[in-house]
């Protein structure tokens, strides 16, 4: 393998494929990046066996393909080396089978490589009619739900996002059993139905890979899912098992309906959270009155805080309810419209947040009992 | 104590005085910020007993001084509270002697305070003729030397910067016994001589407080030093003992004199440092030749790197010398001129770095023996 390529042409691709390499990986060969130089261009592949990212730098972007071939390069040093080289032409050449020379005019790196035969075979299959979605829409869906996945391995399925397609409706749900985020998105055509769970950590990496331009192709399978974007193939394993049915968790009737200003409400909660007793849950209390919402918290020995937020309320009924300010703030960040609906029943029933104009996003937060 | 002040008028001052509060402080009262409201304005004081910062927000910047008085407020929450308030008028009022109310139109914080009588008396004395230096010059002196102070408590004096004034010459030296940074600065007038050692951590906080505008007054004493800048008084204790005499450590004659380009040399070292064996010392080797410098390093099992840098050399003599790339990179960052002098004798004698145009800064690095 021997090629000449401008440093900036390889840096971005390498940065992106390396998102698949896990720092906690214990299989030595998977710490390597696979280089396959063909007549079409340079393929780069990285995998942690759960997630695989592959890309091609097409031949038009390579100065010279002198000799095709393949090699596995230790990723630990490679990215830093390329990053610290000036933006000039870089020579990349395999010597003696298991060594690679990366050189510019004044620099020669000589790196030991990993054995090509040890690299696992990874097949990236496609379906005939993949789901097509704009990258910015997919990023939006991810960011409105991903924060609610569980970080606890005790219920592995909840560490993933539930992706469902039914006709032209894409539904994404994430929950850690204390709060739930649900986003519904109308696709431009009808597709074959599926219902699967993608690991949250992999979706996080997908989000970093996607920019706001262009379309993403989604190819679902029984045990894996492939996203194609730009020159990238991004394949994730799925979490096995049936995602819990969450549709009956979200109430549809509400006794108390409040309308408020998102930013005002957000900052009030943010300040009230400063003086909370329990640093894990950051509990604050919210009490409705005719035209105002009183948000309060206290920390013994420190002090207390009271915030007043203007609201509109549907009914003369009032309620006092406590919840985790951390969960509330994370949920509030997913809304863009300034007018926010807060839907309540009793102090033990879920709090539902919606935008007044856009029904596609629902955020649910369970209250916390305080005595 | 009762006053009305715009949030932005207090935020900056509070942020700056709080630099004196140490997170490792174990004396409860020193976790508080002292507020003294007088007819002249609001004085803020914070101290960790080793470092004290005091400032005044003059009365012209306060909307209303309703009642003068003093109080000690827990700093842990105070700064976050002020930061998260919108930029409107803030009411600050002491109630019941030991409670403070911080309120805006929609927000009421009620905080328990600390006992005023427990706060230590701190005197900020001044001398008649303080040293006057431009803030940007003092920042420059600090940044060219501070990185070389020792982080090891085994030789406490080396954790400080040696500040010396002799006539109109200010000399600052920092060393951790493996490298040394020395800066000489010509003051605009002659001052009374002094020779003292200021804790490096306090000098770091001073650097953050100083901006590029205006002058700093320096008031040295036997056991403390006061810096006055803008509305701030910054007083640090000194390290006691005699700073080692370093003047005989810096050679004045050199067998090999190299001239090179700073940025080229810096990047070559930076890349060579990627593949070093010992992650603490990051040893690289430098070998002179007629027109070039070869910089190399290797890490067994990983690979090796060779960098070539163009130089001018005074003599036909050549040398191979090894050193810590971390120390070299930190020293190189202090130079501004592109033309760099590297002064050498043998592979066991110090490496000296200077700028060709400006003799005021000397960086010394001891070589490392590698066999």
In a domain, B40, yes or no: yes
Assess whether A232 and A255 both reside in one domain.
no
Residue B125, domain member (yes or no): no
Q: Give me chain B's average pLDDT, please.
A: 95
For residues A32, A33, A36, A42, the Cα torsion angle rounded to the nearest 10 degrees is: -160
pLDDT, tens only, A61-78: 999 999 999 999 998 899
Residue reference for tokens 């064996």: B277
Question: ipTM score of the complex?
Answer: 0.90
B5: enclosing H helix or E strand = strand B2-6
Given a contact cutoff of 8 angstroms between Cβ atoms, the answer to whether A190 and A230 are in contact is no
Q: Is B277 strand, coil or helix?
A: coil
In this predicted model, which residue has the larger pLDDT, B136 or A115? B136
Whether A281 shows a pLDDT value over 90: the answer reads no
Among chain A residues, CA nearest to B263? A86
A153 plus A241 within the same structural domain: yes
* A contacts of B74 (beta carbons < 8 Å): 302
Q: Which of residues 37-96 of B touch A (CB under 8 A)?
A: 74, 77, 80-81, 84-86
What are the tens digits of pLDDT across the range B147-198?
999 999 899 999 999 999 999 999 999 999 999 999 999 999 999 999 999 9
Pick the last residue of a domain from B185, B216, B248: B248
pLDDT at position B299 over 90: no
Give B85's contacts (C-beta < 8 A, 6+ positions apart): A271, B7, B102, B104, B107
Question: How far apart are alpha carbons B114 and A303 in whole angstroms?
Answer: 12
- Residue ending a domain, among B118, B143, B175, is B118
Of the residues A305, A309, A310, the best mutation for testing chain B's interface (the one with the most B CB atoms within 10 Å of its CB) is A305
In the predicted model, is pLDDT for residue B38 greater than 90?
yes
The boundaries of the domain holding residue B15 are 2-118
Quick check: B277 pLDDT over 90? no
The tally of domains found in chain B comes to 3
At residue A371, the pLDDT reads: 65
Residues A19 and A41 in one domain: yes
Check pLDDT > 80 for residue A213: yes
B47 plus B153 within the same structural domain? no
Q: Which of residues 335-364 of B touch A (CB under 8 A)?
A: none
Q: How far apart are CA B295 and CA A33, in angstroms?
A: 27
Residues A228 and A262 in one domain: no
pLDDT in tens, B192-234: 999 999 999 999 999 999 999 999 999 999 999 999 999 999 9
In this structure, the answer to whether residues B201 and B262 fall within a common structural domain is no
Cβ separation of B307 and A107 shorter than 8 Å? yes
Give the per-residue pLDDT at A277: 67
pLDDT-derived band at B316 (thresholds 50, 70, 90) equals: confident
Local confidence band at A279 (pLDDT 50, 70, 90 cut-offs):
low
Q: Do residues A71 and A98 share a domain?
A: yes
One domain, residues B113 and B138 = no
Residue A283 contacts residue A322 (beta carbons within 8 Å) = yes
What is the C-alpha to C-alpha distance for residues A184 and A164, in angstroms, rounded to an integer? 10
Chain A CB within 8 Å of residue B279 CB: no
d(CA B276, CA B282): 5
List the structure tokens of A336: 């863009």
Q: Are residues B8 and B112 in the same domain?
A: yes
Query: Average pLDDT for residues A24-41, to the nearest whole number?
Result: 93
Nearest to A84 among B77, B274, B301 (CB): B274
Distance from CA of B91 to the nearest CA of A (A): 14
Give the per-residue pLDDT at A342: 97
| Closest alpha carbon within chain A to B81 | A271
Instruction: Mark whether B35 and B85 lie in a shared domain.
Output: yes
Mean pLDDT on B73-97: 94
Q: Are A143 and A174 in contact (CB under 8 A)?
A: no
B97, B169: one domain: no
Share of chain B above pLDDT 70, in %: 99
B171/B141 same-domain check: yes
Q: Is residue B188 part of a domain?
A: yes
* pTM to 2 decimal places: 0.92
For A249, phi then psi, to 5°, come to -80, -25
CATH number, domain with residue B164: 3.10.150.10
Domain boundary among the residues B222, B248, B274 is at B248
**pLDDT at position A280 over 90:** no
Q: What are the distances in angstroms from CA B148 to CA A22, A184, B135, B182, B356?
A: 36, 57, 21, 10, 22
- Give the residue from A109, A114, A263 with the most B CB atoms within 10 Å of its CB, the best one to mutate: A109
Are B33 and B44 in contact by the 8 Å Cβ rule? The answer is yes
């Amino acid at each position: 393998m021997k090629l000449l390529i401008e440093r900036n042409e390889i840096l971005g691709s390498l940065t992106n494929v390396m998102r698949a390499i896990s720092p906690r990986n214990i299989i030595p060969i998977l710490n390597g990046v696979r280089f396959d130089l063909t007549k079409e261009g340079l393929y780069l592949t990285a995998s942690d066996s759960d997630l695989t990212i592959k890309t091609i730098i097409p031949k038009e972007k390579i100065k010279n393909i002198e000799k095709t071939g393949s090699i596995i390069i230790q990723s630990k040093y490679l990215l830093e080396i390329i990053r610290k080289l000036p933006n000039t032409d870089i020579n990349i050449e395999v010597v003696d089978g298991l060594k690679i020379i990366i050189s510019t005019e004044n620099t020669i790196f000589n790196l030991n490589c990993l054995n090509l035969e040890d690299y696992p075979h990874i097949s990236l299959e496609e379906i005939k009619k993949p789901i097509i979605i704009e990258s910015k829409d997919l990023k939006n869906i991810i960011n409105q739900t991903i924060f609610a996945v569980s970080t606890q391995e005790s219920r592995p399925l909840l560490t993933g996002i539930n992706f469902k397609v039914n006709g032209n409706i894409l539904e994404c749900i994430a929950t850690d059993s204390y709060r739930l985020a649900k986003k519904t998105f109308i696709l431009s055509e009808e597709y074959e139905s599926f219902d699967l769970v993608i690991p949250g950590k992999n979706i996080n990496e997908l989000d970093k890979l996607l920019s706001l331009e262009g379309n993403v192709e989604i190819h679902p399978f029984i045990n894996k899912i492939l996203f194609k974007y730009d020159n990238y193939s991004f394949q994730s394993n799925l979490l096995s098992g049936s995602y819990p049915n969450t549709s009956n968790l979200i109430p549809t009737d509400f006794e108390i309906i409040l309308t408020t200003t998102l930013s005002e409400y957000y900052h009030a909660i943010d300040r009230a959270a400063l003086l909370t007793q329990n640093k894990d849950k950051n509990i604050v209390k919210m009490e409705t009155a005719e035209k105002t919402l009183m948000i309060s918290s206290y920390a013994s020995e420190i002090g207390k805080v009271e915030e007043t937020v203007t609201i509109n309320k549907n009914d003369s009924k009032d309620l006092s309810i406590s919840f985790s300010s951390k969960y509330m703030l994370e949920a509030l960040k997913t809304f863009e419209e300034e007018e926010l609906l807060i839907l309540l029943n009793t102090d033990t029933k879920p709090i539902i947040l919606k935008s007044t104009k856009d029904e596609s996003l629902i955020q649910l937060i369970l209250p916390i009992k305080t005595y």
